[in-house]
C-alpha cells in the first residue's frame, strides 16, 4: 500500500512546491532568528544581570533546530494536503506521523534549552545569591543541577513516550523479572546517593578544596549522585564512591586558618653560649616582626645536643594557607635566618663523624668514633 501511495500520489510539481516552502521558510528563519537574537542580546546587555544573556544563549541552538524541523514538517503538511484528500489509511498515518515528529521536536528542543540553562552557573547560582539572599554552597550547586537534569530528562522521555503512545508497562514488567539484580544494583546506588547527601549536609569540603581521605589526596573537582571526583597533584583523576568517602576520615587542608612550619636548625659544637642565646633572641624577634607569620604561636628554643650539632627548634605558622604564598614566606624566613647567623659568626652544622686514633704502643690500635669503638688488629712487622 505504501508503494502504491508513492507511485500514484507523488508528483513532481508538489515535490517542487514543498521544497520551495522549506527553502523559503529556512531562509526566513535565518534572517528572523538572527535579527530577533540581535535585538534580544542588545536588550539583555543593558540589564544589570547576565542571567538573561545566558538564558538567550542557552535556547539559541535548540530554537534553530526546532525551526528547521518545523519547516520540514510544514512542507510535509502542504504536500500531504495537496496530494491527497486524507481518506486513505496511509495518508492518515503519514499525517499523524508528521504531527508526532513536530510535537517530539518541540519537547526535545525545550528540554535541551532548559538543560543548557543548568550549565550556566550564574543563571541560578548568582541570582539566588544576590536577589534572594540564599547562600548556595559550591558543593551543593552541582548536586542540585544534576537532580534537575535527571528530572528534566525523565519528564521529557515520559511525554515523548506518551506522544508516540508507547506503553511502558511491559518495561516495568521486565524489570520485575530481574527484580533481584535490580534491587542489588539499587542498593549500592541508594547508598551512594545517601552518602552524597551526607557529604552535602555535613559539608566537610567544597569544590576546589584540597583534601586527604585515607590514602587519597588532591583537589575536589566534582560531586555527583554516585561519586566524588578528586584530582591528585600528579594529575590522576580518582573517582571515589560517595558511600566510601562519607565513612572515611577526611582532612580538609583548605579549612586551615594558618599553615605550620617546623624544623630543627643545627649549629656547630664550637658555638659559644652567648652567641647561641643571641641568635635565638634575634630569630624570635624576627619572626614576631614578620608580617607573614601568625603571632599566636611562635617557639624558638635550644632543643637538644645532637650527635653532630647543637639543635635549635623552630615552630611557627604562616598567615596564609596558599601553598605558593606559604613557600615564599618560608623562603624569606630562611634567608633572614642565614643573615642572623652569618652576622653573629655562627656556622650551621652538617652530619659528620669524628675519628680519634690512639697509639697504645702494643700490637693493636684502637679507633674511637662518637658512635662506636672498634678494635683493629695490626700485624707486627
d(CA 181, CA 92): 44
Percent of the chain at pLDDT > 70 equals: 76
Task: Identify whether residues 228 and 272 lie together within a single domain.
Answer: no
Residue owning grid cell 548536586: 143
The SS3 assignment for 271 reads coil
The SS3 assignment for 355 reads strand
Give 354's contacts (C-beta < 8 A, 6+ positions apart): 369, 370
Residue 188 within a domain: no
d(CA 320, CA 329): 9
Residue owning grid cell 664550637: 270
Residues 263 and 214: beta-carbon distance below 8 Å: no
Give residue-wise pLDDT tens across range 123-179: 555 555 555 555 556 677 777 788 888 889 999 999 999 888 887 666 555 555 555
Residue 179 within a domain: no
Task: Identify whether residues 250 and 266 lie together within a single domain.
Answer: no
Q: Please say if the pLDDT value at position 355 is more than 90.
A: no
Residue 181 within a domain: no
**Taking Cα atoms as reference points, which of 204, 203, 283 lies closest to residue 249?**
204
| Residue 230, strand partner residues | 220, 238
Task: Identify whether residues 78 and 45 lie together within a single domain.
Answer: yes
Angle (nearest 5°) at CA 364 between 359 and 366: 60
Residue 339 within a domain: yes
Task: Identify whether residues 322 and 369 lie together within a single domain.
Answer: no
d(CA 137, CA 125): 9
Residue 193 within a domain: no
What is the reported pTM? 0.59
Task: Identify whether residues 145 and 264 lie together within a single domain.
Answer: no
**Taking Cα atoms as reference points, which of 274, 348, 275 lies closest to residue 311?**
348
Domain of residue 372: give its range: 353-381
Residue 217 within a domain: yes
Give residue-wise pLDDT tens across range 244-282: 999 999 999 888 889 999 999 999 999 999 999 999 999
Would you place residue 72 in the very low, low, confident or very high pLDDT band (cuts 50, 70, 90)? Answer: confident
Task: Identify whether residues 14 and 80 lie together within a single domain.
Answer: yes
Q: How many domains does the chain have?
A: 4
Cell numbers standing for residue 212: 586527604
- Higher pLDDT among residues 362 and 284, named by residue: 284
Amino acid at each position: 500500500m505504501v508503494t502504491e501511495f508513492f507511485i500514484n500520489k507523488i508528483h513532481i510539481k508538489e515535490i517542487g512546491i514543498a521544497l520551495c516552502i522549506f527553502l523559503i521558510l529556512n531562509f526566513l528563519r535565518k534572517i528572523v532568528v538572527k535579527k530577533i537574537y540581535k535585538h534580544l542580546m542588545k536588550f539583555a546587555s543593558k540589564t544589570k544581570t547576565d542571567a538573561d544573556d545566558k538564558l538567550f544563549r542557552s535556547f539559541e541552538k535548540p530554537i534553530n533546530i526546532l525551526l528547521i524541523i518545523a519547516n520540514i514538517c510544514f512542507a510535509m503538511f502542504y504536500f500531504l494536503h495537496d496530494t491527497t484528500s486524507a481518506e486513505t489509511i496511509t495518508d492518515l498515518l503519514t499525517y499523524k506521523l508528521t504531527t508526532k515528529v513536530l510535537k517530539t521536536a518541540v519537547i526535545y528542543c525545550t528540554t535541551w534549552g532548559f538543560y543548557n540553562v543548568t550549565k550556566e552557573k550564574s543563571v541560578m547560582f548568582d541570582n539566588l545569591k544576590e536577589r534572594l539572599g540564599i547562600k548556595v554552597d559550591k558543593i551543593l550547586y552541582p548536586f542540585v543541577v544534576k537532580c534537575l537534569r535527571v528530572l528534566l530528562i525523565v519528564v521529557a522521555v515520559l511525554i515523548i513516550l506518551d506522544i508516540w503512545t508507547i506503553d511502558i508497562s511491559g518495561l516495568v514488567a521486565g524489570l520485575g523479572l530481574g527484580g533481584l539484580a535490580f534491587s542489588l544494583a539499587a542498593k549500592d546506588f541508594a547508598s551512594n546517593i545517601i552518602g552524597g547527601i551526607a557529604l552535602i549536609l555535613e559539608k566537610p569540603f567544597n569544590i576546589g578544596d584540597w583534601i586527604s581521605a585515607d590514602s587519597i589526596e588532591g583537589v575536589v573537582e566534582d560531586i555527583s549522585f554516585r561519586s566524588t571526583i578528586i584530582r591528585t597533584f600528579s594529575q590522576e583523576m580518582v573517582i571515589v564512591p560517595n558511600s566510601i568517602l562519607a565513612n572515611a576520615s577526611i582532612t580538609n587542608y583548605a579549612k586551615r586558618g594558618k599553615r605550620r612550619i617546623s624544623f630543627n636548625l643545627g649549629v656547630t659544637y664550637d658555638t659559644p653560649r652567648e652567641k647561641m642565646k643571641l641568635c635565638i633572641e634575634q630569630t624570635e624577634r624576627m619572626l614576631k616582626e614578620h608580617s607573614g607569620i601568625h603571632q599566636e604561636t611562635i617557639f624558638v628554643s635550644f632543643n637538644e645536643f645532637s650527635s653532630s650539632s647543637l639543635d635549635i627548634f623552630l615552630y611557627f605558622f604562616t598567615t596564609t594557607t596558599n601553598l605558593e604564598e606559604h613557600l615564599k614566606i618560608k623562603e624569606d624566613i630562611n634567608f633572614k635566618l642565614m643573615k642572623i647567623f652569618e652576622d653573629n659568626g655562627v656556622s650551621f652544622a652538617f652530619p659528620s663523624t669524628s675519628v680519634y686514633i690512639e697509639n697504645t704502643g702494643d700490637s693493636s690500635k684502637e679507633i674511637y668514633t662518637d658512635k662506636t669503638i672498634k678494635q683493629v688488629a695490626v700485624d707486627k712487622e
